[in-house]
Structure 1
Amino acid sequence: MAIRLNSAHLAGSGMVSARTRARMIDRLREQGISNSEVLAVMEQVPRHLFVDEALQHKAYDDTSLPIGHGQTISQPYIVARMTELALGAGARDKVLEIGTGCGYQATILAQLFKTVYSIERIGALAQASRHRLAELGVHNARLRHADGSKGVPEAAPFDVILFAAAAPISPEHLIAQLAPHGRLIVPVGQHSQELVLICQENGNWVESRLEPVRFVPLLGGVAH
C-alpha cells in the first residue's frame, strides 16, 4: 500500500535527518522486526513531529516519550512490533486503535490499512492528533473523542483491534467486534504487563502471551 504522507513534512536535518531514521531502522532489525513494509513505513513517518520540539532530539531513540496529560508515545520497537502483529491478520480493510495519543501509531497504521478508526478519551489529545494528521495528509484515519474501552460496534467487524494502553484483564467483550480472521492486540496487566494476541485457531479464540511491555493504563470515560 502506497505511502500517503505529505512529502513536505518528511525532510529533516541533524537529529531528525534521514540518516537518524535509518539508524532507527537498523536497530529495529536487530530487535527482530523483519517485515519490510513495516520497516519502510517506520522510516518514512516523521516521529519527531509527534513530540514537543524540546524532545525532538530523542524522537528516534528506542524509548517512550511524554506527550502531556500523563500519556506517552510508545517506543519505536513496540509500535513496529504491534504493527507487524496487525498485518498478520491478512486482510487490511479496517483497523481499530484504542488510545490515539499523539497519533503516531494511527499514522503508521494508515499507511498499511484502508481505514483506521482511532479513539482517544482525552479531548485535547484527540484535537491535536486530528490537526496533526490533517497536516501530514493522512485522510483515511477516522479519529473520535470517546471512551475507547467500548470499541466502535457500529463500524465492526474489524480486521484488527489494537490497544495503545494496558487493560487490567483481556478485553474479551471486544471479540464480538472482530472479523472471523481478526486479531486483538492488547497489553494486559497492571504492575506487570504482557503483550497479548487473541485470534482464532481451529474455530476457537485463543490468547497468546508474547512479551513483557510497559504502557499507561487504560481508563474508561472521557476527559477534556
Structure 2
Amino acid sequence: MKDTNKHQGLRNQLVKLLREKGITDENVLAAIAKIPRHLFLDSSFEDFAYQDKAFPIAAGQTISQPYTVAFQSQLLQVNKEDKVLEIGTGSGYQTAVLYHLGAKVYSVERQNELFKQTSVLLPKLGIRPKHLSFGDGYKGLPNHAPFDSIIVTAGAPIIPPALMAQLKIGGRLVIPFGDKNQIMTMLIRKDETKFEKHEFGEFRFVPLLENKN
C-alpha cells in the first residue's frame, strides 16, 4: 500500500492533462491529485495507473478512465455534506473522488466480489462512505433517499425510474444512457414530475446489470 513521490508526480501530470481536456472544477482536480489510483488496480497495472485510460478489474468490470471520472464528478457539482448515491462502486475509485469532495457517499455494487474487495480497501485508505451495499443498482437505496445527486457508473439502456424518484428537487442525476455506446446524460429535477435533460456526448461503459438479488 505504498504511495510515493513518484506516484504524486504522475498524478500531477494527470491533473495537467485533465485541465487540457477541459476539466475546470478545482475541487475535482484536487481529489484526482490526492487519490492513489494505482492502489485501486491490480499491481500488474501499477506502472500505467496514471494514464488516462480504463483498465480491467475483477468480475469482468473496468475502472473508468480518469477523464470520465472527473467529467461525471464535475457535472454533479458536489457540495460538502451532500448526500450522493453512486450506482456501481466498482473499484471504489469514483467513490474515493466523491468522498474527497466532501460528499456523504452511499454506494451500491452488483458484483459481490467487487463489493467485498472495496469494503476492505476503502477503509485502509482512510475513505469511509456512509453506506456500501451489495444489490441491484436499478433499485437505488430508497431507505436512504432522497439524495442531493446520483451518479451511475455503468451504461444503462433505460434511466431507472426508481433513481429519478430518489432525487431531491434541484438535484442532479448523471448517467451514461444507451445500449452499446452511451450518451452522458444529466437530469436536473425541477419539481415532483419535471426533469430538465442535458446531453454531453458519447462515452463507453460496461453495462448496468440488474436482478442480482
State the TM-score, normalized to the length of structure 1.
Answer: 0.89
Question: In structure 2, what residue type is equivalent to 1:175?
Answer: M
**Cα-to-partner distance string for 1:36-63 (whole Å, 9 max, x where unaligned):** 1110110000000000000111111111
Structure 1 ranges of 4+ moved more than 6 A: none
Matched, 1:137 2:120: no
Matched, 1:85 2:71: no
Structure 2 equivalent of residue 125 of structure 1: 114
Contact 2:177 2:185 in 1 (8 A): yes
State the TM-score, normalized to the length of structure 2.
Answer: 0.93
Contact 1:106 1:118 in 2 (8 A): yes
Structure 1: segments with no counterpart, 5+ residues: 1-8
Contact 1:123 1:222 in 2 (8 A): no
Contact 2:170 2:191 in 1 (8 A): no
Matched, 1:150 2:142: no
Deviation at 1:141, TM superposition (A): 3.8
Q: Percent identity?
A: 41
Structure 2: segments with no counterpart, 5+ residues: none
Contact 1:199 1:205 in 2 (8 A): yes
Instruction: Please give the residue correspondences for 1:151-190 in structure 2 after superposition, counting only pairs within 5 Å.
Output: 151-190=140-179
Question: In structure 2, how many angstroms separate the alpha carbons of the residues matched to 1:174 and 1:107?
Answer: 21
Structure 2 equivalent of residue 198 of structure 1: 187
Contact 2:58 2:113 in 1 (8 A): no
Deviation at 1:173, TM superposition (A): 3.5
Structure 2 equivalent of residue 54 of structure 1: 44
Instruction: Name the count of aligned residue pairs.
Output: 212
Contact 2:110 2:137 in 1 (8 A): yes
Structure 2 equivalent of residue 44 of structure 1: 34
Question: In structure 2, how many angstroms separate the alpha carbons of the residues matched to 1:214 and 1:192?
Answer: 5
Matched, 1:19 2:9: yes
Deviation at 1:18, TM superposition (A): 1.3
Structure 1 equivalent of residue 64 of structure 2: 74
